[in-house]
Amino acid sequence: MTRYNFQSMAELLRIAADEGLTLAGVVLRYQEDLEGKSREEVRRAMGERLAIMRAAARKGLHEDLSSPSGLVGGGGKLLEERRLAGQSLCATTTARAIALAMAIAEVNASMGRVVAAPTAGSCGILPGVLLALEAEKGLEEDLLIDGLFAAAGIGMVAAGQASLSGAALGCQAEIGVAAAMAAAAAVEMTGGDAVQAANAAGVALQGLMGLVCDPVGGLVEIPCVIRNATGAAHALVAADIALAGVQCYIPFDEIVAAMVQVGRALPPELRETGAGGIAACPTARKLARQMGIRDTHTHGAAPAEG
């Protein structure tokens, strides 16, 4: 058992305080001990994941993509074109992050290679934030790898205390946890300490509490891809709040526990069955039928038209 082992954010923060480390520092040492590998080897392995994220971003922004249904593809490119034309309403970092996040999520929807972070359906948020900050702040790759280790710590705590599945706890467990991971990574990469990173994660997750999983036709396309973009923006907001010194009074562990309670209270229609929420809208049901997908609607929305 490594002395860097942790099961909760409270334990992770205690180790960070005792050892004078950031979140990334604790997680890196934990992984070294767990795998019995050198620091360089562990960082190299994380760098390989970053390379996959970069490749997905390039593919999403520069290739003509289309999901099997034809409903998703090209959104990230459109956002990037708008950013490059100076037309985005968002600040530059956020504009870049949402374009990247959507583009990477579209790569996933079109059966491309991505890094689940923590899930494939939420794969765009973390790399969107990391790569946007790299470009806008001129960060070195080593800082991005640090960000990935910080994000991993958040994901490990959440996975140990809850499920990361939309089918179990709704989209809050996917997009919500991804935003928490990205927010902590952003703080880590820009000089924040462990407490600020944990606060950022808490702000992000509580802001997406109760988000339902309602994929149209049961496919990870609508509204999943757009939620990656909004999740990336949300993560940056949470990071700014934490870095400004605004206190998140509810500890991250308690927020995760609340997520579990809320997720278990969600009816099956709102947990990835495609039978409620956006998926039960008349237009969504019509689209699903056009794709040859069985209508799983049971109740809770108006009858489908046409």
DSSP conformation letters of 51-84:
HHHHHHHHHHHHS----TTSS--SHHHHHHHHHH
Predicted pLDDT of residue 28: 99
Please tell me the distance from the alpha carbon of residue 130 to that of residue 234, in angstroms, as a whole number. 14
In a domain, 1, yes or no: no
In a domain, 72, yes or no: yes
Predicted pLDDT of residue 304: 37
Residues forming beta bridges with residue 213, ordered by sequence position: 271
CATH number at residue 132: 1.10.4100
Predicted pLDDT of residue 306: 35
Predicted pLDDT of residue 305: 38
Q: pTM, whole model, 2 decimals?
A: 0.96
In a domain, 298, yes or no: no
N residues, the chain: 306
Predicted pLDDT of residue 2: 83
Q: For residue 36, what are the contacts with CB-CB under 8 A and spacing of at least 6?
A: none
Full residue range of the structural domain in which residue 250 is found: 9-290
pLDDT in tens, 57-87: 999 999 999 999 999 999 999 999 999 999 9
Predicted pLDDT of residue 293: 87
In a domain, 4, yes or no: no
Count of domains forming the chain = 1
Predicted pLDDT of residue 303: 36
Residues forming beta bridges with residue 271, ordered by sequence position: 213
Predicted pLDDT of residue 297: 59
In a domain, 304, yes or no: no
In a domain, 218, yes or no: yes
- Below-50 pLDDT ranges, the chain: 299-306
Please tell me the distance from the alpha carbon of residue 222 to that of residue 98, in angstroms, as a whole number. 16
Predicted pLDDT of residue 1: 67
The CA-atom distances, in angstroms, between 72 and each of 4, 56, 59, 122, 244 are 42, 15, 14, 15, 37
Q: For residue 204, what are the contacts with CB-CB under 8 A and spacing of at least 6?
A: 176, 179, 180, 182, 183, 234, 235, 238
In a domain, 122, yes or no: yes
Q: For residue 194, what are the contacts with CB-CB under 8 A and spacing of at least 6?
A: 12, 13, 16, 17, 21, 22, 23, 26
Number of neighbouring beta carbons within 10 Å of residue 247: 11
In a domain, 76, yes or no: yes
pLDDT in tens, 174-190: 999 999 999 999 999 99
